[in-house]
A and B are shown apart, each in its own frame.
Chain A
């Protein structure tokens, strides 16, 4: 019996309609029970390898494939996808789009139901998974009410319930906060103990460093380096920096630094600040029939956001941290005026901004930038945000962001990172004084993260005040002057 459960033999692949090959003659053998980490820049072929193993290539994403992939004795090319379901399980990057059911219970048993197991057996598996992963408090909920971390937990449970031998994770931590990453880590440890073969493609490396048996470094479609897990966990920050990888060490120390912070709020004079006043908002409205009543300080028991006054230092980058679902996004939405029911007032440069006026003062770059790209070319996207459509200035902005070469391309044809830079470009063009970023570096590799950090610093230097909601401790370390922690809708600390 062969001990290699996954075999890739001389694989070359390019997607249909794309000119450049994503993989060039890659060979890879993975042993049963091994945990392998794939790292490297975006577009280096990590996801392609994951898709080759779970059969989405070539069955779902067609393209030119040469070479042979063999998983658990099955030749992928000749195996239908549903036959692989009990063998290979995949946790995807985006928790939002990997759920078939709308409720958690249904999602966990979705896989076993598909492969036609006996209902009694499915129930037993479901109960086992729930007990193992401690999901009792998530049962019976709608997936639209879950935080990103909770969704990813359910996704792991749903994969677990199929009892696959091989588990693939494609950038699973992209949308997770520190606590949720720790829980993800626990899931991986559990799988490892059960002897499963695990392949992880990931940018954030710190939480995996002592879990992996082997690390593969990919660059432009080939496996360039290969290290043992032990070698890899010994890498210092200089070594990872040279490889353009995210550090394996630093994040831990930053998390510790900010996680156990006691209360404290820096004192900033009103004159040097953008002053937020009376920010109250709730999602848990008392039942109403036709008219919603506005909330105030008195309703503190139901408030989702409760900030009587907060001074944000002008011209600085302020990182907003806090657990998933604790009010970070709500805070951003209220500050930029998207929540109409929020009563807050912003005072900046002697002007008072209320209600709709807040929309003019601020601009938010959303986490899913697809939502805010409307036009048919990058250039017109930026021009749309300008009051006086100044093409020269537009080119300047595009150049500073390194996307001038895509000027005439359709924004939707760009990669995720490029799209984000287009959105940032229109934010700059809109001349907003207060720029808000919702998780700008989720799913970005080291180089792109560094670029975003540089950019945020430049924005602050040009006089804008930048609020960035993030779980990315490296980003905080690189560019944030201040860190604001939101806990249960209140300011936890601000340093």
Chain B
């Protein structure tokens, strides 16, 4: 079953999860709240049929948790355990935010996003800039992989051991092609009326559904509980 969420709910999720990961969990009850909040986006990924990434995140997160609780302790010594502690702490701490962001980026269409921003009365300038950023990520990825291919073909992957050359070889073509694409892209967009004084409209009709209200409620309650248990009790 696919749960169709409103982009506003998704933005709210990102915001809440980002706040939560910035606060450390110290007691078991805080950990439980945090784990629940991590598994919500994982379940959402499953409903989107992204099984492989859901399972990968799940395994990574559980492994980090198990190691933190049962293998590592304050008495842990040695370089290996030190590194492991670092990795596990980072994963346990920040993976929830990464999973949520991943879910949102993978499942939000640009027109939905722009429509949501308009409903929240964001200025068009901010909406369009953010939309362009969203549009550009996959392009950069695509361009970068072409450049990597070209470098492998010429056998200059390591730039002759020269770090500056290595960066130069990667960045120069990437910058040039991104600038070119950006240039052509904006030319194409303004010939179709982007940036006019007219208020943009949108065919996407957004409505908060039951799932949206439920999730927002769950996240508000979880955040409230987290803050209460951490700072008040």
- The yes or no verdict on A and B being binding partners is yes
Binding site for B on A (CB under 8 A): 54-56, 60, 80-86, 88-90, 92, 94, 96-103, 105-106, 109-119, 122-123, 126, 144, 158-159, 162, 287-290, 333, 336, 338, 359-360, 363-364, 366, 368, 370-375, 384-385, 412, 426, 430
A122 in contact with B150 (CB, 8 Å): no
Chain B residues near A86: list those with CB within 8 A.
193
Q: How far is the CA of A374 from the CA of B154 in the complex (A)?
A: 11
- Proximity string of chain B (133-167) to chain A, C-beta cutoff 8 Å, 1 when within and 0 when not: 01100100011001101111111100000000000
Given A98-B185, A371-B146: A103 and B109 within 8 A (CB)? yes
B203 in contact with A109 (CB, 8 Å): yes
Chain A min CB distance to B170 (Å): 8
Q: How far is the CA of A99 from the CA of B142 in the complex (A)?
A: 15
* 9-residue interface stretch from B28-36, B48-56, B95-103: B48-56
A289 in contact with B56 (CB, 8 Å): yes
Q: What are 29 sample pairs from A and B whose C-beta atoms fall under 8 A apart? A: A82-B190, A82-B195, A89-B191, A97-B184, A97-B188, A98-B184, A99-B135, A100-B188, A100-B194, A106-B109, A109-B111, A110-B189, A111-B193, A112-B201, A113-B203, A116-B199, A116-B201, A119-B203, A122-B203, A287-B51, A338-B149, A359-B153, A360-B155, A368-B146, A370-B177, A371-B149, A371-B150, A374-B168, A426-B154
B146 in contact with A366 (CB, 8 Å): yes
Given A370-B173, A371-B146: A364 and B180 within 8 A (CB)? no
B201 in contact with A119 (CB, 8 Å): yes
- Proximity string of chain B (13-41) to chain A, C-beta cutoff 8 Å, 1 when within and 0 when not: 00000000000000000000000000000
Q: A86-B193, A374-B172 are in contact. List 10 more A-B contacts (CB 8 A).
A: A56-B187, A82-B195, A99-B185, A100-B131, A101-B110, A289-B52, A289-B59, A372-B150, A374-B150, A374-B173
Q: How far is the CA of A126 from the CA of B203 in the complex (A)?
A: 10
B191 in contact with A56 (CB, 8 Å): yes
Given A113-B202, A118-B201: A359 and B191 within 8 A (CB)? no
B177 in contact with A60 (CB, 8 Å): no
Q: How far is the CA of A105 from the CA of B190 in the complex (A)?
A: 19
Chain B residues near A370: list those with CB within 8 A.
173, 176-177, 180
B184 in contact with A94 (CB, 8 Å): yes
Q: How far is the CA of A426 from the CA of B154 in the complex (A)?
A: 9
B173 in contact with A373 (CB, 8 Å): yes
A114 in contact with B177 (CB, 8 Å): no
Q: How far is the CA of A175 from the CA of B199 in the complex (A)?
A: 35
> Closest residue to B55 on the A side, CB-wise?
A289
Count residues of B near A (Cβ-Cβ below 8 Å): 53
Chain B residues near A162: list those with CB within 8 A.
192-193
A80 in contact with B181 (CB, 8 Å): no
Binding site for A on B (CB under 8 A): 51-52, 55-56, 59, 109-111, 131, 134-135, 138, 142-143, 146-147, 149-156, 168-169, 172-173, 176-177, 180-181, 184-203, 205
Given A111-B193, A114-B192: A287 and B153 within 8 A (CB)? no
A114 in contact with B196 (CB, 8 Å): yes
Chain B residues near A144: list those with CB within 8 A.
138, 142
A100 in contact with B52 (CB, 8 Å): no
Chain A residues near B197: list those with CB within 8 A.
82
**Residue of A60, A103, A118 touching B110 (CB-CB under 8 A):** A103
Q: How far is the CA of A94 from the CA of B197 in the complex (A)?
A: 28
- What 10 A-B pairs are tightest by C-beta distance, nearest first? A85-B193, A82-B196, A114-B193, A116-B198, A372-B150, A106-B111, A98-B188, A97-B184, A111-B192, A371-B146
Chain B residues near A114: list those with CB within 8 A.
192-196, 198, 200
A359 in contact with B155 (CB, 8 Å): yes
B153 in contact with A363 (CB, 8 Å): yes
> Closest residue to B134 on the A side, CB-wise?
A102
Chain A min CB distance to B152 (Å): 6
**Residue of B110, B154, B201 touching A372 (CB-CB under 8 A):** B154
A105 in contact with B111 (CB, 8 Å): yes
Chain A min CB distance to B44 (Å): 18
A101 in contact with B135 (CB, 8 Å): yes
> Closest residue to A123 on the B side, CB-wise?
B203
